[in-house]
Amino acid sequence: MIKTPVCDLVGIEYPIFQGGMAWISDGTLAAAVSNGGGLGIISAMNADAEYLRGEINKARELTGGKKPFGVNIMLASPFADEVAQVAADEKVPVITTGAGNPSKYIEMWLKSGAKVMPLVASVAMAKLLSRTGVSAIIAEGGESGGHVGELTTMVLIPQVCDVTDLPVIAAGGIADGRGVAAAFMLGAQGVQLGTRFLAAEECSVHRNYKDKILKATDISTTTTGKRLGHPVRSLKTPFIRAYAKAEYDSSISNEELEAMGAGSLRLAAVEGDAEKGTFLAGQIAGMVNKEQSAAEMIKEIFTEAEVILRGANQWVK
Amino acid sequence: MIKTPVCDLVGIEYPIFQGGMAWISDGTLAAAVSNGGGLGIISAMNADAEYLRGEINKARELTGGKKPFGVNIMLASPFADEVAQVAADEKVPVITTGAGNPSKYIEMWLKSGAKVMPLVASVAMAKLLSRTGVSAIIAEGGESGGHVGELTTMVLIPQVCDVTDLPVIAAGGIADGRGVAAAFMLGAQGVQLGTRFLAAEECSVHRNYKDKILKATDISTTTTGKRLGHPVRSLKTPFIRAYAKAEYDSSISNEELEAMGAGSLRLAAVEGDAEKGTFLAGQIAGMVNKEQSAAEMIKEIFTEAEVILRGANQWVK
């Protein structure tokens, strides 16, 4: 068994979180991960209070109310205030945040009894947020899917560990036991995986999306959106190639560019629209090759990590 | 002590290579690294046979002819054919390659007795080159400095290890013992560092360049050149910011863009020109904070890696 302080902090069996993915990480997936011994996380995405309350109830029902789970608050959401309130009212055990600085909600969340864990992509944010009463820092490298920072996991994790005494959870580019073991060597005490859980049997993402992940190779993803200041990693598709080309065409305005991408995440996740969808995925998609239950995935990953960590001194003479 | 099959393969004490950096990795730096127990590598860059022969002689002299060293052949060089021949004629112990497919030189190099180790940035190239008689694969993640691929070290290394039985040397994003330990967990049996050696006392790069590396933080680098198809990672400077802006300006032609960057590497490395120079650096520059001899660096890195690897099972119960 692998046990780190993150297990005790959250009350989970394995130090693994499932990332909050918009249109994908619903109560069903979160419950499957939590039932499998990890921490399932519901994405509040751009949805309203009613949606989030429904998914929280679903997760509670599917875990028999016996397992911790989390909610990810996307701070750029137009409904950020109301979903932040729901997370507190519902006494969600763990609240993670993305796309911004969650400082204004932290006091409310701590009062509700939640453990708060902001996601950061730079050393400065890690340093700043470490002092706000949060319980851990999720540091995400730019090889991850969805909105990405510039620093890679290999570079980010040790530098974040150097500026905080809180447990660090590594995200980005991890899909198997080797990634977990590497993250631990860099100083992390837990991992967060998104792309691998896209292939979970309990993941309700459209079949086309899942198949694209299963077929992806190492070079299947790219980032777009740098021109508008919010780069996003997704699978290369004809639509994404066209978008990337448009980014370098200064006769196309930023507004037109923005409009091109609008609604494309839903089209991918819900409709499986190969033409107009944006299929968010991490670079590690090339290593995600089989559909399994979330519980099997977790067990497999940590069985492998344990073997590797036990043999880590094989080259030390 | 840390000993891997890479040590025996090359005849070095520590499984660490110093990356071949144009205008920087000369015979003096290579000799310092080799004398420190690693493998120093001379960059043949865009220079001619005479330059390379001179640096090889210098490295031999400074190591008393007793230490192995390498030469990096940049395959896109206009002098590639002649420097490839020099490496063979001079019976250089290790030949690494970058920026292309070295297949046409491999037979000649193997006949000269060299161990050949191509640098790859994708799984397909690793698979292809593994079958050409080479001795090892250097897999470099896009967090490295200079010409970069898209895949990060965390994602690339395990996937390369999955398609080759040769030893894999991890490059990109490594500057200390944590990075070495992480690379081993991903399956690598050696590491290659560039940015950290920029701060070696024996590195003859311009003082301004060295100071910029020592002062760099986690967010000091960026990539440019994607529009022209050969992205390069360097420190953010006013020149680089202007270049990045020009990339999105389609009234500026590709030829004009190309001209903007011409000669800027030499200006940085040799002249220390803060205005017009391009200061290549890896993302890990933020972790390079002190000037030391190459030998001290190597010793420090592996002392740290040994402690970490010995304690790797701390979370395994």
Residues in B touching A227 (Cβ below 8 Å): 248
Q: Do A124 and B172 touch (CB under 8 A)?
A: no
Percent of chain B with pLDDT over 90: 93
Residue of A nearest to B247 (CA): A248
How would you class B118 by CB atoms within 10 Å of its CB: exposed for 0-12, middle for 13-18, buried for 19 or more? buried
pLDDT tens per residue across span B57-68: 999 999 999 999
Q: Is the pLDDT of residue B227 over 90?
A: no
Closest to A2 (Cβ–Cβ): which among B158, B189, B315? B315
B2 to A317: CB separation less than 8 angstroms, yes or no: yes
So what's the pLDDT on residue B117? Answer: 98
Residue A171: partners with Cβ closer than 8 Å, 6 or more residues away: A17, A19, A119, A138, A139, A140, A141, A144, A153, A191, A192, A193, A194
Pick B121 or B229 by higher pLDDT: B121
Per residue of chain A (317 residues), what is the pLDDT tens digit? 999 999 999 999 999 999 999 999 999 999 999 999 999 999 999 999 999 999 999 999 999 999 999 999 999 999 999 999 999 999 999 999 997 889 999 999 999 999 999 999 999 999 999 999 999 999 999 999 999 999 999 999 999 999 999 999 999 999 999 999 999 999 999 999 999 999 999 999 999 999 999 999 999 999 999 888 889 999 999 999 999 999 888 899 999 988 988 899 999 999 999 999 999 999 999 999 999 999 999 999 999 999 999 999 999 99
In angstroms, the separation between the Cα of residue B187 and the nearest Cα of chain A is: 8
- Tell me the nearest-neighbour CA distance from A59 into chain B, angstroms: 29
Write out the DSSP string of chain A: -B--HHHHHHT-SSSEEE---TTT--HHHHHHHHHTTSBEEEE-TT--HHHHHHHHHHHHHHTTT-S-EEEEEETTSTTHHHHHHHHHHTT-SEEEEESS--HHHHHHHHHTT-EEEEEESSHHHHHHHHTTT-S-EEEE-TTSSEE--SS-HHHHHHHHHTT-SS-EEEESS--SHHHHHHHHHHT-SEEEESHHHHTBTT--S-HHHHHHHHH--TT-EEEE-TTTT--EEEE--HHHHHHHHHHT-TTS-HHHHHHHHTTHHHIIIII--TTT---B--GGGGG----B-HHHHHHHHHHHHHHHHHTGGGGB-
**Of the candidates B1, B173, B227, which has its C-beta nearest A155's C-beta?**
B173
The pLDDT score that the predictor gives to residue A54 is: 98
Cα distance from B70 to chain A (closest Cα, Å)? 23
Q: Sheet of B94-98: strands edge to edge? A: B16-18, B190-193, B168-171, B137-140, B115-120, B94-98, B69-74, B40-43
Residue B100 has a pLDDT of 82
Residue whose structure tokens are 């990075």: B179
> Which positions in chain B touch A185 (Cβ < 8 Å)?
178, 181-182, 184-185, 308-309, 312
Question: Using CB atoms, which residue from B3, B182, B249 is nearest to A154?
Answer: B182
Instruction: State the architecture of A5-204 in CATH terms.
Output: Alpha-Beta Barrel (3.20)
Q: Which pLDDT value is given to residue B124?
A: 96
pLDDT band at B307; cut points 50, 70, 90: very high
| Residue of B158, B181, B284 lying closest to A155 (CB–CB) | B284
More confident residue, B248 or A138: A138
CA nearest A282: which of A193, A211, A199, A203? A193
Shortest CA distance from B248: residue in chain A: A248
Nearest to B152 among A153, A189, A313 (CB): A153
CA distance A50 to chain B (A): 38
Beta carbons within 10 angstroms of residue B293's beta carbon: 15
pLDDT of residue B229: 87
Predicted-assembly ipTM surpassing the 0.90 threshold = yes
**Minimal C-alpha gap between A187 and chain B (Å):** 8
Identify which of A150, A165, A161 has the alpha carbon closest to the alpha carbon of residue A183: A161
Q: How many CA atoms lie within 13 A of A54 on its CB side?
A: 6
- Chain A residues closer than 8 Å to B308 by CB: 185
For residue B251, which residues of chain A lie inside 8 Å, CB to CB?
250
CA A248/CA A253 separation, integer angstroms:
11
Nearest to A286 among B159, B185, B286 (CB): B159
Instruction: Give the pLDDT score at B274.
Output: 93
Of B3, B176, B313, the CB nearest to A312: B313
Among A170, A95, A159, residue whose Cα is nearest residue A127 = A159
Axis-axis angle for helices A80-89, A49-62 (nearest 10): 30
Measured CA to CA, the distance from residue A195 to residue A260 in angstroms comes to 24
pTM for the full model? 0.96
Residue B170: per-residue pLDDT: 98
Which residues on chain B are in Cβ contact (under 8 Å) with A243? none
CB contact under 8 A, A1 and B306: no
Q: Average pLDDT for residues B285-304, to the nearest whole number? A: 98
- In degrees and rounded to multiples of 5, residue B150 shows phi and psi of -90, -35
A108 CA: distance to closest CA in chain B (Å): 32
Q: Note whether A187 contacts B178, CB cutoff 8 Å.
A: yes
Separation of first and last alpha carbons in chain B: 26
pLDDT recorded at residue B249: 86
Q: Where are the domains of chain A?
A: 5-204, 221-280
With 80 as the cut, is the pLDDT of residue B99 above it?
A: no
How many whole angstroms separate alpha carbon B288 and alpha carbon B305?
16
- Asked whether residue B141 carries a pLDDT value surpassing 90, the answer given is yes
Which residues does chain A have within 8 Å of residue B168's beta carbon, measured at their own beta carbons?
none
Put simply, the answer to whether B218 touches A156 (Cβ < 8 Å) is yes
Q: What is the pLDDT of residue B301?
A: 98
> Which residue of B124, B178, B217 is in closest CB contact with A158?
B178
B248 and A247 within 8 Å at the Cβ level: the answer is: yes
**Residue B158: DSSP 8-state:** H
Q: How many whole angstroms separate alpha carbon A171 and alpha carbon A178?
A: 14
Nearest-Cα distance to chain B for A140, in Å, is 12
Interface test with B, best of A303, A304, A316 (most B CBs within 10 A): A316
Distance in Å, alpha carbon of A288 to nearest chain B alpha carbon: 11
pLDDT at B29: 98
